[in-house]
Structure 1
Amino acid sequence: MSGPSDRIVPSPPRLDRLTDGDVPFRRGHFLAYAPRDFHRIAYVEWGDAASPHVAICVHGLSRQGRDFDALAYALARIGYRVICPDLPGRGLSGWLRDPELYALPQYASDMAALIAHLGVTGTIDWIGTSLGGLTGMVLAAAQGTPIRRLVINDIGPFLPWAPIRQIGNRLRDAPRLHHNLASGESRLRTVLGDFGPLTDEQWRHIAVHSFVQEPTGGWRPHYDPAIGDAFRPGRVYSVSMWRDWDAIRCPVLLLRGARSDLLLPETADEMMRRGPRTYRVEIPDCGHAPALLDPEQIRVVTDWMGSPQQVERPPAGP
């Protein structure tokens, strides 16, 4: 894998010590609205709260914002204010009363409310993994969008139905309770194997934030099981969002796991031929989706985004 420059980002310190390090770390939340329902949106924030250079990192379908700890730390160290929310039904955010609302329109609405809550009056950079990338595409395609640069991690405007069905099956088949955290981590190492080769420390970091300890004993997944309702048999089909892709005007960094079955090579090729100017990086030894915990993967993102104090560079080409 190669990045757009040879600048080296130092390896981040231990994941379990990031919040005690030299970068400010804060937790926050606000109330967002769904039809007949207010719900809590939680987030973590890194870096100088007064920085005008804002990056928002949004996770995948069954994940949460702490997946971005290492990347957020690296971006905050070069001057960004970084916000990593939990989408509704995940992490520390509230669950929706109506499971039918777990869909892109609600996620986009909640993330627009997040931008308003943060008091952002200028532009933002968006980093989205899988579902977070789709949400970013919707917002970046809108008229008057505040998104000036977009990083999409292993997702595209066309989603084939077969891997979507597999994702849904894994959600529905996930145990509702593990006897201990080690059991939960073991399952994650299996079902999230496409994240790429991770260290024991990285897997433990993922596991710690993927389960909630019940007062009566055991560990349950951090998400509302109803987020899988949209993947019930008979409801899974291929998805096309080319209209959104073609409407995007900001530069895009497209990351693709070399073994990904969700972002097909031909889809990535088509994304390079049409829509926004896009720089593409293939990440070896990964499927769907690279975890963005590896220092080299982090370097690719930080190199492309650059120090926010720099004059903005022209968008990179293929």
Structure 2
Amino acid sequence: MPAQRKSVQCLSPTGLHTMSYQEWGDANNPDVLVCVHGLARVSDDFDVLAANLCSQYRVICPDVVGRGASGHLRNPMHYQIPQYVSDMVTLLARLDVEEVDWFGTSMGGLIGMGIASLEGNPIRKLLLNDVGPALNPVALSRIGEYVGQAVSFERFDEALAYIKSISQPFGAHSEAQWEKLARDVLRQNEAGQWIKHYDLGLGLPFKATTPEQVAAGEAILWATYDAIRSKTLVVRGENSDLLSIETATAMTKRGPHASLVQIPDVGHAPTFVSAEQIAIARDFFLSNN
């Protein structure tokens, strides 16, 4: 069953905006899996995973505001986790279900942590894909360098090479997989040039963040993590420069006492398009415990 594209209206301090999402499977299925992408990615990242799980789940894959088919914020400084959590609470209300499972890659995992830490939240199981409360500032700087950078390419093969270059930590993929990963986050402008499929204003909060704010944010994130009671799995790319093995190990000993799986020969972040990686998600979400 192909995905249906839907949308929900959300609120920011400067007004309303639209969040687009894709829905896979039976709309009446009470078993819901919400899959949320990373900082500069889109809902299409989960096409393979959603197709694999939509016979068991109603799978919901949003484009976080500022990305893909969703609207943009009037004030780009609001492109931060509290706004995304607010938007997702609105989405969860639209879904009208008692509980959900959550798959969050990088930023999507931080959003899931934020919701799962709230009293009375609906998250039953939480998969955190290569993210945790302590984030390597060097990796954040690497990501921040390209996320707000305006680029344009006359030919798709040039754009593809660019996406490959900034996404090498994803690990080995077939040429068809790389092409899809690229097409998902690129679009053609009126001049026919290939450009990024997100608001370049996403980079502004990165540039405005001080080391002191990073340190304070880490303390808040650990307090958030410690408040989670959902069954939790941390997936780490073995070569990740964002989530250290020390942080991932600490996540198994505090808060929800997460289980930990490491994926060899992958950095930040596993894409979950291979059968081996999808099996990790299936085993976690479909197990009875």
Tell me if both proteins adopt one fold, taking TM over 0.5 as the criterion: yes
Q: Which amino acid aligns with 1:76?
A: C
Q: Is the 8 A contact 1:24 1:48 kept in 2?
A: no
Residue equivalent to 1:279: 259
Residue equivalent to 2:87: 110
1:182, 1:30 → 2: CA distance?
35
Residue equivalent to 1:12: none
Q: Which amino acid aligns with 2:260?
A: R
Q: Which amino acid aligns with 2:28?
A: A
Q: Which amino acid aligns with 2:131?
A: I
Residue equivalent to 1:290: 270
Residues 1:235 and 2:210 aligned together: yes
**Deviation of 1:285 (Å):** 0.9
Q: Is the 8 A contact 1:25 1:47 kept in 2?
A: yes
Residue equivalent to 1:82: 59
**Deviation of 1:233 (Å):** 6.4
Residue equivalent to 1:57: 35
Q: Is the 8 A contact 1:257 1:287 kept in 2?
A: yes
Distance 1:263 1:89, change over 3 A: same
Pick one of 203, 228, 232 that aligns with 1:248. 228
**Deviation of 1:277 (Å):** 3.0
Given the two structures, how large is their TM-score scaled by the length of structure 2? 0.95
DSSP-derived class of the 1:158 partner: coil
DSSP-derived class of the 1:205 partner: helix
Q: Is the 8 A contact 2:45 2:181 kept in 1?
A: yes
DSSP-derived class of the 2:104 partner: strand
Structure with greater helix share of residues = 2
Q: Is the 8 A contact 2:144 2:206 kept in 1?
A: yes
Alpha-carbon deviations, 1:132-173, whole Å to 9, x = none? 000000000000000000000000011122211111012234
**Deviation of 1:89 (Å):** 0.4
Residue equivalent to 1:194: 169
DSSP-derived class of the 2:54 partner: helix
Pick one of 39, 43, 47 that aligns with 1:69. 47
Q: Which amino acid aligns with 2:222?
A: W
Q: Is the 8 A contact 1:194 1:287 kept in 2?
A: yes
Residues 1:42 and 2:17 aligned together: no
Q: Which amino acid aligns with 2:234?
A: L
Residues 1:97 and 2:77 aligned together: no
Distance 1:244 1:233, change over 3 A: closer
Q: Which amino acid aligns with 1:83?
A: I
DSSP-derived class of the 2:34 partner: strand
For the aligned residue pairs, the C-alpha RMSD in angstroms reads 1.3
Residue equivalent to 2:6: 28
Alpha-carbon deviations, 1:205-239, whole Å to 9, x = none? 11111111112221110010000001216635344
**Deviation of 1:174 (Å):** 4.9
Distance 1:234 1:134, change over 3 A: closer
Q: Is the 8 A contact 1:54 1:123 kept in 2?
A: yes
Q: Is the 8 A contact 1:56 1:124 kept in 2?
A: yes
Alpha-carbon deviations, 1:256-299, whole Å to 9, x = none? 00000110010011101111031110001110101111110000
DSSP-derived class of the 1:113 partner: helix
1:246, 1:129 → 2: CA distance?
19
DSSP-derived class of the 2:20 partner: strand
DSSP-derived class of the 1:159 partner: coil
Q: What is the 5 A alignment of 1:142-157? A: 142-157=118-133
Residue equivalent to 1:163: 139
**Deviation of 1:246 (Å):** 0.5
Q: Is the 8 A contact 1:250 1:277 kept in 2?
A: no
Percentage of identical aligned residues: 42
Higher mean alpha-carbon deviation, 221-230 vs 24-33, is at 24-33
Residues 1:210 and 2:190 aligned together: no
Residues 1:119 and 2:96 aligned together: yes
Residues 1:223 and 2:194 aligned together: no
DSSP-derived class of the 2:19 partner: strand
Q: Is the 8 A contact 1:57 1:85 kept in 2?
A: yes
2:147, 2:258 → 1: CA distance?
32
DSSP-derived class of the 1:280 partner: strand
